[in-house]
Structure 1
Amino acid sequence: MKYRSTRGSKENTLNAPAAIIQGLAQDGGLYVPLAFPKANFKLEDLPKLSYKQISAMIISLFFDDFSKEQIKSAVINAYSEQWDDRSIVPIEKHDDNFYMELFHGPTLAFKDIALQMLPQLMTRAVQIKKIDRDIIILTATSGDTGTASMRGFANQNGTQVIVFYPEGGVSPVQLKQMLSQRGNNLRAIAIKGNFDDAQTEVKKIFNDKTFRTKLNQNGFQFSSANSMNIGRLVPQISYYLYTYGQLVRRQEIKLGDKVNFAVPTGNFGDILAGYYAKKLGLPINKLVCASNENNVLTDFFNNGVYDKRRKFHLTNAPAMDILVSSNLERLLFDLYQEDSQEIASLMNQLTQRGHYQVSGEVFSKMQDIFAAAFASEDEVKAEIKRIYDYDRYVIDPHTAVGSYVAHQYQQKSKDKTPMVIVSTASPYKFPETVYTAITGRECPQTGVAAIKKLHDELGGQLSIGVRALFDHEPHKEMIIDPSNMEAEISSILNLK
């Protein structure tokens, strides 16, 4: 299958391995299929298939340059003993809604689903393309992507991972995870600023032709582990198909019934995977876009104007503290009928003016598919408490954003369609907020000590991934100005 940039000509294409390796298109756009594939499955197949089988099916559909043997071994390696639940994605029912748990991987967040797979795809792509340069995974993170990409690529031959994250903008547990990851090819560096500052600078570095040439001369090549990379996005489609199949198998719904998915999202990758699942024929009624107080997406889906010129909030759902949602570009490309010039214009307006407005026709399409709302920090805590009081089920703050928005949507719209809430992280990743929400008392500790405090309150057995947080001492945090990111990369790689 061929891939093109959302901002470039459809004559200028790459195959899947090249698109995965490159990560971000050289014109600043994101790679999308030249022709969106037709489903290689029937709806009635889904209840019979395991997660691994569905994953292999989706990978082979979008990345047909990889052999069956390569895909099979990639899936086995990505979804094996590092998961604490054999199903990979268990589905829980609480308060008449379904919670799709995506946090049973090694770093306790949904990013593991894709970032255990991406290194497998990347190493095989390098073999297919016969690349003799080291791949530098350059990534901005609001918390979870950094940890999951470092864990996924740790000690992978021919790769180095350089992660930039906002100082003070990730949770204590997220910070400990990043600074404790073991691997001689890993770096995590804080920047003075927020996630958008880190992401903007990463994109700028990717598109710096002089620096790219210098990298190549020194035997290196950039790629990304962000959801900007198509190899990170495509594996996420699988859990929408798997969840639907499991609901049919459990007789919660009938084959062909529509479902809603409420997705807590900042960078728009997770919910875009749901949109792609819908394009493949999954009977999705509404994709409910759930934001925290950085509610730029809520406003966008409700009025058609994307405006990043607003106050940036550090919230208790920090992985969603984002004002520039990169993957929205792929959705707009689709809704604008693949008009790359229009997309380039909109993205230029966002960069130059800080805002843009979509056409009436596109806005109408958006409203047919999406609903959107947001949750404040107090509403997040109240939702954690509400769900816990219902039947002692514990959710993290990001899942609480999705759960709160789903509940509000159901009450206001009277939509009776079965609702799946995308549960994106373990509550033990954000123990301070969860403890306060459940007990009504401030948590006296942070980080690992707060995990112990929360566990004392909840009881039960800690998962392997949570227990691993107690094992390693973190490195000392390094903090730089965003303007020094390129120089820091040069220093790490000893560029001449």
Structure 2
Amino acid sequence: MRYISTRGGMTPQPFSETLLEGLAPDGGLAVPEQLPQVDAETLERWRALTYPQLAAEVLGLFATDIPREDLARMTADAYVDFPDAVVPLRSIGDGITLVGLSEGPTLAFKDMAMQFLGQALDYVLERKDQVLNIVGATSGDTGSAAEHALRGKDRVSVFMLSPQGRMSSFQRAQMYSLDDANVHNIAVEGVFDDCQNLVKKLAGDLEFKRAQHLGAVNSINLGRIAAQVVYYFWAWLRVTDAVEPEFRSGFEVSFTVPSGNFGNILSGFFAKGMGVPIRRLVLAANENNVLDEFFRTGVYRPRSAADTHATSSPSMDISKASNLERFIFELVGQDPSRVADFFRSIDEQGFVDLSAEQPRFEAEFGVVSGTSTHADRLATIRSVHEASGEIIDPHTADGVKVAREFLETDVPMLVLETAKPQKFAETITEAIGVELEFSAELQRMLAAPQHVTEMADDEQALRAFVAANALH
């Protein structure tokens, strides 16, 4: 299995090289030359596996350059701090099941991929005798998951950009309370898209990237996408455990995915392409509904920082979704020149009109979408709590609200849980009047001194900071 760039300018390379590369040298994103395929017989063989064992099997289809026994050791170590089930499924009524992705150390779904990525980067860097300086951007949960997965590692340093004043107080504390020497938090004046733009500018300067040994842990890193594919397989297997064996093959489920940077739902798109019987992939947006507009109309119109709303589901406050490029690559028949045309249209006129292709989104790829607002998520948190006793976070509430619009008889609807509600306690209190309890460990984290460097939206200032603090 080898990987190419969506922009067509990268020599095919193995999985381990894409882990270190992050953004491709031509500015594109790494994608498989072709997706691996999994048949019904293999799915049945995987049914009895634990989550770490399943992860080794699925990731082994992507990381063919890493010995399977090494992958198995990495996945076992990655999920050691999770409960035995790792990803529990639980019903909340109305035909909706939550896929519990927030059992990891930072209480968010990003741990599912980031804990593996931390193991994989360590493994590859050790064998190459290299160091890596991660420059990433976060709208809330990616940063803490990356920092907790990579803190204290000798060969990796993390420079994590976050938008000033745009995250919850819990998210800020979870990142900024870390005082490890290899973790550098940078609060940028602006929104997430400004942070992401800065990351891409540094990664696009190949001379600087090579000199400073830069890499990425955002979902532009193919390793993140591959690791997230695993839980789509796992969720389908767990749902169909209750189905009579003769009816399991081809038994379809739908997934609803709260979406910001399009990475999580892209992993579902890959899983569907690999053979998981997925009927629909339902994209749930918040008020920053650029992606919903695109999938409903075919018109992609990114917003400026000034037009990007600060919402109560802040991890989705994104108006330029990096991973959409991987979907566009498939939409245009894997033609790099058409991908370039897509971005050229945005640069020249601020939007792209693909309305002629829009019917294919659901018919061919199974992707539909919807939008949720602050009032919607409060009402959804309230209704789920009243019906099931479950308390869900605001992003998961966006997912449940939109999932309800696409329920189908005899097609289970699975909503990917985004985070534990404690990360957004103020919104939970507003919705149901409950003051959430925090463990003694979380209370210490919230009260701990915070370590962060504030910075203007300034590429040169960031370059200087990275150069002064990078590992070499």
Residue 469 of structure 1 and its aligned partner are, at CA, apart by 2.0
Residue 48 of structure 1 and its aligned partner are, at CA, apart by 1.9
1:243 aligns with 2:235: yes
**Percent identity of the aligned residues?**
34
Which residue of the other structure, out of 462, 466, 469, is the alignment partner of 1:492? 469
Residue 494 of structure 1 and its aligned partner are, at CA, apart by 8.7
| Matching residue of 1:289 | 283
- In 2, are the aligned partners of 1:396 and 1:426 still within 8 Å (CA)? yes
- In 1, are the aligned partners of 2:125 and 2:155 still within 8 Å (CA)? no
1:72 aligns with 2:68: no
Residue 385 of structure 1 and its aligned partner are, at CA, apart by 0.2
1:157 aligns with 2:158: no
- In 2, are the aligned partners of 1:48 and 1:245 still within 8 Å (CA)? no
- In 1, are the aligned partners of 2:156 and 2:471 still within 8 Å (CA)? no
- In 2, are the aligned partners of 1:309 and 1:355 still within 8 Å (CA)? no
| Matching residue of 2:221 | 229
Distance 2:181 2:303 in 1: 40
1:470 aligns with 2:464: no
Distance 2:409 2:153 in 1: 47
Distance 1:161 1:419 in 2: 37
| Matching residue of 1:329 | 325
Q: Secondary structure of 1:56's partner?
A: helix
Q: How many residues align?
A: 460
Distance verdict in 2 for CA 1:252–1:108, change over 3 Å: farther
| Matching residue of 1:482 | 457
Distance 1:189 1:469 in 2: 22
**Alignment deviations for residues 160-219 of structure 1 (CA, whole Å, 9 cap, x no partner):** 000000001111100000011242200111000000000011101111134235xx2xxx
Distance verdict in 2 for CA 1:479–1:353, change over 3 Å: farther
Residue 352 of structure 1 and its aligned partner are, at CA, apart by 4.3
- In 2, are the aligned partners of 1:289 and 1:373 still within 8 Å (CA)? yes
Question: What residue identity is the alignment partner of 2:381?
Answer: I
Q: Secondary structure of 1:188's partner?
A: strand
User: 1:303-452, aligned counterparts within 5 Å?
Assistant: 303-309=297-303, 311-358=307-354, 360=356, 362-368=357-363, 369-410=366-407, 416-439=410-433
Q: Could you list the runs of 5+ residues in structure 1 that have no partner in the other structure?
A: 444-452, 456-461
User: 1:256-275, aligned counterparts within 5 Å?
Assistant: 256-275=250-269
| Matching residue of 1:448 | none
Question: What residue identity is the alignment partner of 1:485?
Answer: L
Distance 2:111 2:336 in 1: 31
Residue 233 of structure 1 and its aligned partner are, at CA, apart by 1.0
Distance verdict in 2 for CA 1:494–1:49, change over 3 Å: closer
- In 1, are the aligned partners of 2:26 and 2:204 still within 8 Å (CA)? yes
Distance verdict in 2 for CA 1:172–1:227, change over 3 Å: same
Residue 94 of structure 1 and its aligned partner are, at CA, apart by 1.2
- In 1, are the aligned partners of 2:184 and 2:452 still within 8 Å (CA)? no
Q: Secondary structure of 2:47's partner?
A: helix
TM-score, normalising length: structure 2: 0.93
- In 1, are the aligned partners of 2:287 and 2:311 still within 8 Å (CA)? yes
Distance 1:416 1:3 in 2: 38
Distance 2:354 2:280 in 1: 20
Distance 1:170 1:430 in 2: 10
Residue 123 of structure 1 and its aligned partner are, at CA, apart by 1.8
Distance verdict in 2 for CA 1:275–1:301, change over 3 Å: same
Question: What residue identity is the alignment partner of 2:48?
Answer: K
Residue 467 of structure 1 and its aligned partner are, at CA, apart by 4.7
Question: What residue identity is the alignment partner of 2:96?
Answer: N
**Alignment deviations for residues 216-273 of structure 1 (CA, whole Å, 9 cap, x no partner):** 2xxx411101010001110000101101111111349951321110100100000011
- In 2, are the aligned partners of 1:145 and 1:226 still within 8 Å (CA)? yes
Distance 2:116 2:52 in 1: 11
Residue 127 of structure 1 and its aligned partner are, at CA, apart by 3.8
Distance 1:107 1:476 in 2: 18
**Alignment deviations for residues 363-421 of structure 1 (CA, whole Å, 9 cap, x no partner):** 222122111001001110110000001121110000000000011233xxx55521001
Q: Secondary structure of 1:285's partner?
A: strand
| Matching residue of 2:170 | 173
Residue 476 of structure 1 and its aligned partner are, at CA, apart by 4.0
Distance 2:336 2:256 in 1: 29
Residue 355 of structure 1 and its aligned partner are, at CA, apart by 1.6
TM-score, normalising length: structure 1: 0.89
Residue 131 of structure 1 and its aligned partner are, at CA, apart by 4.3
- In 2, are the aligned partners of 1:147 and 1:181 still within 8 Å (CA)? no
Question: What residue identity is the alignment partner of 2:216?
Answer: S
Q: Could you list the runs of 5+ residues in structure 2 that have no partner in the other structure?
A: none
User: 1:64-143, aligned counterparts within 5 Å?
Assistant: 64-80=64-80, 82-83=81-82, 85-95=83-93, 96-128=95-127, 130-132=128-130, 134-143=131-140
Distance 1:350 1:70 in 2: 43
Q: Secondary structure of 1:162's partner?
A: strand
Q: Secondary structure of 1:420's partner?
A: strand
